[in-house]
Structure 1
Amino acid sequence: MHTPASMVMGIVFAPLGLVLVFTAAITPQWREGQTRLGMTGQGSFLRSGMKGRKMGIRSGSAEALLLLRTDGLWESCLQVEHSELKQCWPVAGPYQRDPRVRLAQGLVLTSLFLGGTGIVLACIGVRCWTDLPLRGVAATGGLLVVMAGMLSLTALGVYTHNLRRLGIADPSQGISNPRFPHLSLRPAGSLYFGWLGACLQVLGGSALLFSFKRPRCSTCPSYRDLPVCPACRSCPDITKSDTDVYEVSC
């Protein structure tokens, strides 16, 4: 079977983009911030977690710990740098209730559903086990993949544009939690995975959309009046009645 290059490109890029978007969705590194926290006052809640652990931190340097706070769509984490002390929890509070976060969650979930459905349709449309692909089915799958990529791009755009204001009543005051000091928030690794995956989905789905265009059929070199399609890769069979048979005797 001769599979069009657009189908091959789409069937490779679309699943890869879906995997990257899914990876971004389940990881808690959409934004991150660092701050130094003293062991007295605000840092007292870390003492219980550090008791009984060999952190390798000198008593002099323990007065100012470097904390790394990360937030995702469904999980947040807090980690002490250069140590194994890390705690993660489901998103809660103002961040969870922020309508922009909830919008990003809904768009990403819808994108994953449409992307998976589109890839299934594309695989059925390509039909590697037959000679001719189902072009309409493959192109429909490509349309769903493009829609999934656009939804992911929208979710990522909304989150990135409002990254420093999500779950914060006053952006100048940082995260509105008295237990944490001011954090300087910035984009994290999961956002980049999401952007790359969404772009691959749009690219792969657009390639599958070219499946609507049927290949132009050429003609058989020996029989100009008989059409032949490149997907068949051979001329139509010539019946025996069209040829003359001669008996030769020695």
Structure 2
Amino acid sequence: MHTPASMVMGIVFAPLGLVLVFTAAITPQWREGRARLGMAGPGSFLRSGVKGQGMGVRSGSVEALLLLRSDGLWESCLQVEHSELKQCWPVAGPYQRDPRVRLTQGLVLTSLFLCGTGIVLACIGVRCWMDVPLRGVAATGGLLVVMSGLLSLTALGVYTHNLGRLGMADPSQGINNPRFPHLSLHPAGSLYFGWLGSCLQVLGGSALLFSSKRPRCPTCPSCPERPDCPACRSCTEMTNKPDTNVYEVSC
């Protein structure tokens, strides 16, 4: 079977977009923030933890550490930059309870489910092992993939728009704690994976939708009112032409 280029494009882009969105969902780098933590006291816990590893940075008479905080949908991490000291934990507190974070989680999970279902339908519809594709089934799968891409784009938009305010409802907890250094938050790598994957889902799903258009079969010059391909087999003007190969095409 000669698979249409739009089907090939859709069946390649849709799984690639699913992988990228799934990678973004499970990684904790949706937003990042760096802060310099001073260690003036000789008995500081962080100072004792990194003593001997050369991670202290002297600023005048006070040592400092550069901390990297990252948050994802289901996990947060804290790491001393340029070291192996890293601690991760499931999201909790105001950040976990933030309705915008919960909305993003729900949209991403729904997007992954719809995209997976759409890819299964698209594979059934393309039917590369058969002569005739099921264009309606492939188009249905493409519609689900487009919807999944739009849902993930919505989730990413909500998170990015509120990135600096997520989890800040309770000033006495979380990263806004006065005892913890202020973090200047910015988008991180997982967001970019998500944006790219969502765009690929929309492109792949749209290609599958466009593949639902049936190819136009040649008509018999003597029987223009019979557009179906079987008419070509009964048309003497087409079958009696020399050096002409006649193929049976099922539309």
Output the CA distance in 1 between the equivalents of 2:75 and 2:248.
61
Tell me if structure 1 keeps the 8 A contact 2:139–2:210: yes
Aligned counterparts of 1:214 and 1:226: Cα–Cα separation in 2: 13
Q: What secondary structure, in the 3-state scheme, does the structure 2 residue paired with 1:108 have?
A: helix
- Unaligned ranges ≥5, structure 1: 238-250
Per-residue CA deviations over 1:127-171 (Å, capped at 9, x if unaligned) read 011000000110000000000000000000000000000001389
Letter in 1 for 2:110: T
What is the DSSP-based 3-state SS (H/G/I as helix, E as strand, rest coil) of the residue aligned with 1:133?
coil
For 1:1-250, list aligned pairs within 5 A: 1-40=1-40, 44-47=44-47, 49-50=49-50, 54-57=52-55, 60=58, 63-169=63-169, 175-219=175-219, 228=229, 234-236=246-248
Separation of aligned partners in 2, 1:50 and 1:34 = 18
Write out per-residue CA displacement over residues 85-128 of structure 1, whole angstroms, 9 at most, x where no aligned residue: 11111100000000000000000000000000000100010001
Distance 2:143 2:227 in 1: 35
Preserved CA contact (<8 Å) 2:55 2:65: no
Runs of at least 5 residues in structure 2 that lack an aligned partner in the other structure: 231-244
CA separation of 1:149 and 1:45: change in aligned 2, threshold 3 A = farther
The question of whether the paired residues in 1 share the 8 Å contact of 2:76 and 2:89 is answered with yes
CA distance in 1, matches of 2:227, 2:139: 29
Matched to 2:104, the amino acid is A
Q: Which runs of 4+ in 1 moved over 2 A?
A: 43-51, 56-62, 173-179, 223-229, 233-237
C-alpha RMSD of matched pairs (Å): 2.8
Amino acid in the other structure paired with 1:181:
P
Q: Deviation at 1:63?
A: 1.2
- Deviation at residue 234 of structure 1 after TM alignment: 4.6
Distance 2:110 2:48 in 1: 41
Query: In 2, Cα distance between the equivalents of 1:82 and 1:167?
Result: 27
Change (3 A) 1:226 1:94: closer
SS at match of 1:63: strand
Q: Following the alignment from structure 1 to structure 2, what is the Cα–Cα distance between the partners of residues 84 and 189?
A: 20
Instruction: Give, in whole Å, the separation in 2 of the partners of 1:226 and 1:174.
Output: 69
- Hey, what's the Cα distance between the residues in 1 that align with 2:170 and 2:94? 12
Distance 1:129 1:76, change over 3 A: same
Measured after TM superposition, the shift of residue 210 of structure 1 is 1.1
Contact kept, 8 Å, 1:228 with 1:234, in 2: the verdict is: no
| TM-score, L = length of structure 2 | 0.83
SS at match of 2:66: strand
Q: 1:215 is paired with a residue of what secondary structure? A: coil
